[in-house]
Amino acid sequence: MENKKIRIGFIGLNPDSHWAATAHLPALQSLEEEFEIIGVANSSLESAEKTAKALNLKHAFKNYQELVESPDVDLVAITVKVPYHYEMVKAALEAGKHIYCEWPLGNGLKEAEELEALAREKGVVAAIGTQMRYAPEVTYLKQLIAEGYVGKVLSTSLIGTGGNWSSETISEYYYLFDKTNGAAMLEIPLAHTLVGLTEVLGNVDTLYATMFSNFSEVKITDTNEAKPKTAEDQIMIQGRLESGAALSVHYRGGVCKGTNLLWEINGTEGDIQVTADSGHVQMAQLSIAGAKSTDEGLKPLTPPAEVFEGWPEFPGARNVGHIYKLIAEDIKTGSKKAPSFTDGLALHQLLNKVETSAK
């Protein structure tokens, strides 16, 4: 495998829409010397054949079982909705394939526990798509904190919007508003953001949470229907990090005319402020500003230009690309640098603590 391209089979890939097309394809185009997309399995053979023709792929598999059992596939990329992750990941693991599964790993903690245990048993590279921690801006933030830009971190506060989970949506996204699908505001934008926050500042020690909804129904604008909404649209977490710093996080459904992401880090020697136009920080362009205690106000802090060279312009694709780069290294050298299912399980456990506290 050292001198061969890693052959990827995608479960859930359309050529011109959705996350796999907008993030995974550009990421892999930046890593053409490492990877080759060999085939695809979609919800129907017709859909797979359409994608294979558009992208000039060797295989259009009739279903995901055929894909994971193919000797031509080294790495299975799973980019379908969360309720299907468990069965597909389990099948790929049992077939002995390496895996890149989009976050969340499973629909709830129990599924994540089972998949993490199976991945350890099989000894394959099993990576989870928690890409915010690999954003160049997050790496730069981590460096600033480690070098003492703000001194001792005293507190951090973050407010973000979910984009969805307010009072309106379209049919395609309604499944996000059903809590049983495991893809609500807690599991998607807030979870991704907690990954980045803890990458920079360290793990959570104690927390207290409140979760509730302002809306019990959601209007489906393209069909003019009103349907039940069970996913919370207000999530608040307070607590303390293992470093001793205070923690405050508030995620709210919908979008805001003001700031859709504001993350502040306050220390004994200075302050850092991170902003973005979306609370989905795993795919948003982050802007960083900071001030030492002797400065009169905040000034821009920008990562070195070279960290962006050779990567896609879209931050989501750029961040996903860094995970693929680590996966390639893990497969070829036996290293353990990519975010693993064990990391994914730890995040599921943190979300479970939030839910348990809120109850």
In whole angstroms, give the CA distance from residue 227 to residue 145.
45
**One-letter amino acid for residue 356 of the chain:** T
**What confidence tens digit (pLDDT) does each residue in 31-89 have?**
999 999 999 999 999 999 999 999 999 999 999 999 999 999 999 999 999 999 999 99
Q: By C-alpha distance, which of 8, 32, 7 is closest to 20?
A: 8
Q: What is the CATH number of the domain that holds 52?
A: 3.40.50.720
CA atoms within 13 A on the CB side of 221: 6
What would the two tokens of residue 235 be?
């999530």
Q: By C-alpha distance, which of 100, 7, 138 is closest to 321?
A: 100
**What confidence tens digit (pLDDT) does each residue in 270-294 have?**
999 999 999 999 999 999 999 998 9
The number of domains in the chain is 2
Q: Are 270 and 149 in contact (CB under 8 A)?
A: yes
Q: Are 119 and 20 members of one domain?
A: yes
Residue 16: per-residue pLDDT: 86
Q: Is residue 220 part of a domain?
A: yes
Q: Which domain holds residue 126?
A: 6-130+312-342
Q: Are 287 and 149 members of one domain?
A: yes
Q: Is residue 248 part of a domain?
A: yes
Residue after which a domain boundary falls, among 255, 275, 303? 303
Region 141-146 average pLDDT:
98
Residue 2: per-residue pLDDT: 58
Q: Are 181 and 326 members of one domain?
A: no
Q: Are 283 and 328 members of one domain?
A: no
**One-letter amino acid for residue 19 of the chain:** W
**What confidence tens digit (pLDDT) does each residue in 9-27 have?**
999 999 988 999 999 999 9
Q: Is residue 64 part of a domain?
A: yes
Q: Is residue 358 part of a domain?
A: no
Q: Are 198 and 126 members of one domain?
A: no
Q: Are 336 and 270 members of one domain?
A: no
Q: Are 280 and 192 in contact (CB under 8 A)?
A: yes
Q: Is residue 194 exposed (0-12), middle (13-18) or buried (19+ Cβ within 10 Å)?
A: buried
Q: Are 55 and 109 members of one domain?
A: yes
Q: Are 43 and 169 members of one domain?
A: no
In whole angstroms, give the CA distance from residue 242 to residue 70.
45
Question: Rounded mean pLDDT of the chain?
Answer: 97
Region 124-145 average pLDDT:
98
Q: By C-alpha distance, which of 56, 41, 40, 284 is closest to 162?
A: 284
**What confidence tens digit (pLDDT) does each residue in 284-322 have?**
999 999 999 899 999 999 999 999 999 999 999 999 999
Q: Is 235 helix (H, G, I), strand (E, B) or coil?
A: strand
Q: Are 43 and 160 members of one domain?
A: no
Q: Are 96 and 206 members of one domain?
A: no
Q: Are 15 and 31 members of one domain?
A: yes
Q: Are 235 and 270 members of one domain?
A: yes
